[in-house]
Amino acid sequence: MADQHPAPTDPRSSDPTDAQASSARTPDERTPVERSAAATRPVGFDREKYIALQSEHIHERRRRIGGRLYLEMGGKLFDDYHASRVLPGFTPDNKIAMLEALKDETEILVCFNAKDLERNKVRADLGITYEDDVLRLIDVFHERGFLVQHVVCTQLEDSNHRALAFLQRLERLGMTVARHRVIPGYPHDTARIVSEQGFGLNEHSATTRDLVVVTAPGPGSGKLATCLSQVYHDHQRGIPSGYAKFETFPIWNLPLEHPVNVAYEAATADLEDINLIDPFHLAAHGERVTSYNRDVEVFPLLSALLEKLTGASPYASPTEMGVNMAGYAIVDDEVCRRASEQEIIRRYYKATTAEAVTGDDDSVSERIALIMSRLGLSSSDRPVVGEALAVQELTGEPGAAIALADGTLISGKTSPLLGCSAAMLLNALKHLAGIDPAAKLLAPEAIEPIQTLKTVHLGSLNPRLHTDEVLIALSVSAATDERARRALDALGQLSGCDAHVTTILGSVDEGIFRSLGILVTTEPRFQKKALYRKR
């Protein structure tokens, strides 16, 4: 996949303190008023319409089931950043906002896969382990007034020592824990699975509400198996119950190769998920709708379970068991297409960087590269990549670039005082606050103590200020400098902006970008060669 980049621009730097690499390039000659209006990001998704449609559809499914409904909730429940990136207008808390209308009849059950704990899997968007995220999820649900008492550990084996220790910790914290074992032959050996030697070996969670939302830190956590096991045990106890699925992606009524759906494949490339036409729905209704491999693979199990328990399955296809109404709330298809294409490219860079850090093979990034080729995408379709690489080519040092909401590209170079990420942030804040690019925002009395602390007292060999240190210095300067205060006030405008850095970020800079909501990618190389690196 050949990368094409624009011709380098001159990294002017009238202010060595801020190391400005290029002032700004706007996509046209719009007036300041027009540019300000354009800074409002385009919306492709109607949040309120979605909440209304989705809550009513769940009500209708519950009425059809006629008993307890286990609702598998795919994706993130209250911080679905992937959905907010590919469906502009979808807020990260959309799902939980919809469920709050059903709070009094809803119980939340959290599950996690023991294998994810054993391999110390991390949520990339938050930078925390799945173990910590289980605790975080429970806390947030409690804070919002939801009932959450039960936790399920799936695919548990006696050798999963970390998972077993975590279960004991959860029990000490007052949670009720159920242990679900690995079932040989799952998901194909339905006779064994739907028996005392299958789901019968799993511990039952004694939920009490009519709507049980089953969620997890991430994909592959065993949500479906948890729901089906609960339905099995409920019916053994004479409790009528059923199952439905709330999975945002892939969106069933969008075409298979729609960028929104393809972005889901990129997001789950490590799981090797593949979107496909639902063959069961096609056979039953003659209609081509989008599903994915895991739903199709487990559908025979779902049908067999429901038939054994109730005499007939209410669903003729995986699509019918879903309750997803997201496709009906898309109000600007082109906006969602463009946003999804950018997300796919970001996923590619995230994968290549992760492989460089961990030393893993390039299987995940190669899968995403193939996905990009299907849509005719390359890194040149991400403007900040070419801009950052142009800075590096001209200076011989790492470069960074950010695209503001109106399309303006701002870059930053590495200098003796600032790293390129810090320089980029300062340059972007100057532009947003309408400050002269030559103005010095950081007072010497704010910078010198930080450098002294780093080099003299902490023994750092790198005197350059990182992003957190620059923001601290800017905060100190803002106490006496009105321009610094204006720049600091502009920080919120960076949320949702794309950025690229030509070297792998340290954990501090990465955390600052995440906190600011900046969608940053990096080239998969370290600034300095070394065999040992602090994790």
pLDDT of residue 307: 87
Residue 48: Cβ-neighbour burial (10 angstroms; 0-12, 13-18, 19+)? exposed
pLDDT of residue 476: 86
Give the whole-angstrom CA distance, residue 470 versus residue 464.
10
Confidence grade of residue 461 (pLDDT, cut at 50, 70, 90): low
pLDDT of residue 305: 82
The tokens of 310 are what?
Answer: 């109730």
Cβ-contact 501, 414 below 8 angstroms:
no
pLDDT digits (tens, 9 = 90+) for 293-341: 989 998 988 888 888 877 788 999 999 999 999 999 999 999 999 999 9
CA dist list (Å): 351 to 205, 358, 360, 363, 381: 37, 11, 10, 9, 17
Residues of the chain with CATH 3.10.630.10: 47-325
CATH value of 20-42+375-522 in 3.40.140.40, 2.60.130.10, 3.40.50.300, 3.40.50.150:
3.40.140.40
Confidence grade of residue 65 (pLDDT, cut at 50, 70, 90): confident
Three-state DSSP at 442 gives coil
Three-state DSSP at 294 gives helix
Give the whole-angstrom CA distance, residue 143 versus residue 134.
14
Residue 209 amino acid letter: R
Express as a percent the part of the chain with pLDDT over 90.
Answer: 67
DSSP string over 331-384: S-HHHHHHHHHHHHHHHHHHHHHHHHHH---SHHHHHHHHHHHHTT--GGGSHH
Confidence grade of residue 7 (pLDDT, cut at 50, 70, 90): very low
Give the whole-angstrom CA distance, residue 534 versus residue 528.
13
Sign of the C-alpha dihedral computed for residues 96, 97, 100 and 102 taken in this order: negative
Candidates 331, 337, 339, 341; CA nearest to 44 is 331
Question: Higher-confidence residue: 308 or 165?
Answer: 165
- Number of neighbouring beta carbons within 10 Å of residue 40: 9
Buried residues in 282-293 as b, exposed as e (16+ CB within 10 A): eeeeeeebbbbe
CATH value of 47-325 in 1.10.10.920, 1.10.10.10, 3.10.630.10, 3.30.43.10:
3.10.630.10
Residue 420 amino acid letter: C
- Number of neighbouring beta carbons within 10 Å of residue 514: 16
Give the whole-angstrom CA distance, residue 98 versus residue 58.
10
Confidence grade of residue 198 (pLDDT, cut at 50, 70, 90): very high
Mean pLDDT of the chain: 87
Cβ-contact 410, 446 below 8 angstroms:
no
* Residue with token string 């909401």: 405
The tokens of 413 are what?
Answer: 């170079």
pLDDT digits (tens, 9 = 90+) for 341-388: 999 999 999 999 999 999 999 999 999 999 999 999 999 999 999 999
Q: Quick check: 29 pLDDT over 80? A: no
Question: Higher-confidence residue: 28 or 333?
Answer: 333
- Number of neighbouring beta carbons within 10 Å of residue 350: 22
Give the whole-angstrom CA distance, residue 522 versus residue 504.
6
Cβ-contact 252, 289 below 8 angstroms:
yes
pLDDT digits (tens, 9 = 90+) for 472-495: 889 988 988 999 999 999 999 999
> What are residue 59's DSSP bridge partners?
none
pLDDT digits (tens, 9 = 90+) for 252-301: 999 999 999 999 999 999 988 999 999 999 999 999 999 999 899 989 88
Residue 146 amino acid letter: F
**Lowest-confidence range among 148-157, 301-310, 447-456?**
447-456
Give the whole-angstrom CA distance, residue 306 versus residue 230.
12
Q: What SS3 string covers 253-267?
A: CCCCCCHHHHHHHHH
* Average pLDDT over every residue of 190-194: 88
Cβ-contact 24, 399 below 8 angstroms:
no
Cβ-contact 101, 213 below 8 angstroms:
no
Question: Higher-confidence residue: 39 or 411?
Answer: 411
Q: Quick check: 230 pLDDT over 60? A: yes
Confidence grade of residue 456 (pLDDT, cut at 50, 70, 90): low
pLDDT of residue 6: 32
Element spanning 22, H or E = strand 20-25
Element spanning 512, H or E = helix 507-516
> DSSP H helical segments within 396-465, as ranges?
420-433, 444-452
Residues of the chain with CATH 3.40.140.40: 20-42+375-522
Confidence grade of residue 457 (pLDDT, cut at 50, 70, 90): low
